[in-house]
Structure 1
C-alpha cells in the first residue's frame, strides 16, 4: 500500500543516526587515536576494527530477536538513546597514557556498537513489512538517501570543526545529540504504521542464517555492498590525512567531505528515476561505475591541483548516492520476495546479516587504511605534528584513491548476476 508522506519522511529521519554513526567514527576515530592519544597506526586500526567486528556477530542476533518480538519500532527508541549516550563516552575518556586511553575507547566503542546494532537492524527491516510495493520502497529509500546525505554533510562537515574549536569531548556530545534526534524522530514519526503480520521463523539462529544465505540474490547483493562499504570506509578514513599532509590544510577535510556527500541531495531523485526506467540493478551498476571513476580521480589530491581533488570528490559523490539508494531499495525486495515464497518472515535475519556485512566493510576500511599507513612508514604522534616520510605520503594518496577504486570495481561482478529485476521474483534456490 502507499505510505503517507509523513511516514516516508519520518522513517528517513532514522538515517540521521545511520549516516552520522557510519561517518564520524570512520572520519575521526583513527586520527584521534594516532594523532591525539599517540597510539601506533597499526594498533589504532585494530582498535577501530574490534568493536565493529563484534557487531558482525551481534547484528544477526539482533535481527533474530526483533523477528521474534514482531514489532520493530520500539527498538528505535530504546537502542537509539543508548547509542547517543555511549557515543559521547567514546571521546570523553582519559587523555593518556596511550594504553589506558586505548582501553577506554575499545570498551566505550563496544557498548556503542552494541546499541547501534539493536537500532539499525530493526530500522532496516521495517520497509519490507510496512509496504508490499517495491516502487514505494524505492521512494522511501530516496528520502532516506537524501537524509543520509544531510546527516553526513552535517556530522562529517561540522564534527572536525567542533574538534578544532572545543575538543573531542565536546564533539562526542554534539554528535550524541544528532544521534538522539534521528532515533527519536524516526520512532515518533512512524507511530501508527502497520507491520505486515507474517509467521516468525522457528529453529536456531544457525538454521535461519543458513536459509537466508542460501538465497542467491541476497548473497550477490550482500557481497557487492560489503565490498563497496570496505572501499568507502578506506576512503573516509583517509580524508583527514589527505587534508593535513597532501593538501596542507586541515580545513580541507570538511571541504572534501562536502564535495563527496553534497551531490546526493541533488542526484538521489535522478538515480531514483533512472532505476524506475531501467531497473534497480541497472541503477546500481551505473552508479558503481561512476564511483569507481571518481575514486580513481581522487589521486589528484597528491598533486598541486586541489581543485581537481574536490571535483573528483564530487564525481565520486554522484556515484556514491546511487550506490546507497539502489541496494537499500533492493534489500527489502529480496526479503519480501523470500517471505512470499516461503511463508515465513525472516526479514530481521536478512537485515541482520546485511548490517553485519556493512559494519564489517566499514570497520575493515579504517583498519586497512591504518595498515597501508604503517607499510608506508607513517609516524604517529600526540600532537599531529610529526613530519611524514615520502613513503607515508604515497601511502596516504594510494590508500585514498586507488585502493577504494579497485575494491568498488570488483563489486560490479556480483551486481551483474542479480536476477530479481529481470524475473520479478527472488531467486531463493539453495
Structure 2
C-alpha cells in the first residue's frame, strides 16, 4: 500500500453533488480530492433540471456552455392524466435546461477542476478510522491500494450509498415510492409539440404509480421512461424492452402516437428500489450528500437540483466544522435543513399520487399556485411560512390515519 496524502476534504463520487461540494469547498480555501470510480463521460439517468438547478448553473458561469452543448431549454412540464384527461402545465420560473447527463456531469467535473479540485479515478474500498472518527479512505487505482487522509470524508456516491453499505451511515430504508421499477431508453424521431412547447418535459400517468416521462435531451433525441409497480413488472415483463412496450400500450395513447416513427438509440435499462432514505447521514468526520442518503420518486425531477443544493450547503457545514473544531453543530444543522426540504418534496409527491385531480386544482388556486410552482421548481428548502406545504402535510396525515383505521 502506497504512502498517503492528506486533504481537508475527500469526496467519493463526482456527479453533480460531488462536483458542487468540491467547487464550494475550494472557494472556501479547502484542499479537495474527488475519487470517481467511472471514467467520464458516462451514462446517467436524471435528465430534466428544475429552475433552481438552472440558477446554480448560471451562477457557475456555464449558461453559454450549456447552450453550445445543444441542451434544449425547458419551458415547463406538461402533466397529462388518464386517457389524456386531467391535464395541467407547470411553468418554469427560472430558465433551465434538459440535459444529456454524460455531457452535463462532465461539464461540472471540468468546472471543479478549474477551481482546483484534484481528481483520482479509482474505487473506494474502505474508510480509515482513528479513535472512532473517520479520518480518510482506502481506494484502489492502477491495481494498487492507496490511502488518503481527510478532515471530512463526503459520500457523494449516489445510489451506491457507500457509507451506508460500510455501516458508517445508517441502513438504507425503503420509502413510499419504492415498489416501482423504472425502465428507460433514448430515441430519435419522436414527434414533439410545436415550438415553443417542443422541449417541455411531458409526464403521462394512468393511475397511481403507473407513469411515463418524455424528455427532449438534444435537438433530435428524447428520453423515454416507463415506471410501473414491481409486481406488474415481474408479471408482465421479462426485461426493460418489455416494460417500455407495455407502457406504450397501456399508460397513454399519447406515447404510442409520439413514438410511432421513433428509433431507439442504444440499450434500454431498468432501475428498481430507487426510493429510500438513510439515517443517520452525518457523523464525526463524515457526511452524505444527494442520492448517497435519500432519493424520492423521480416524477418531478428533484434529483439533480437537490444534489447540487446539498453539495453547496454541505460545503458551508464542512468549513465551519474544520474552522471551529466542532462537527456536531454545523453537521446537525445541515442534516435538519436537508431533512426539512426533502420531506416537503416527499409530501408534495405523495399528495400528487393520492389526489392527482386535486393537485391539478391546487395548480389553478390563486392562493397556492405560485407556491406550488416554486416548490416544483426546487424551492423546497426555502419555503418557511408557506401555505402549500402545510396543506399537503395535513392531507397526507389525514389519509394515513384513515388507512390505519381501515
With normalisation by structure 1, the TM-score equals: 0.29
Looking at both structures, which has the greater relative contact order when contacts are Cα pairs under 8 Å and sequence separation is at least 6?
A: 1
**Higher strand proportion:** 2
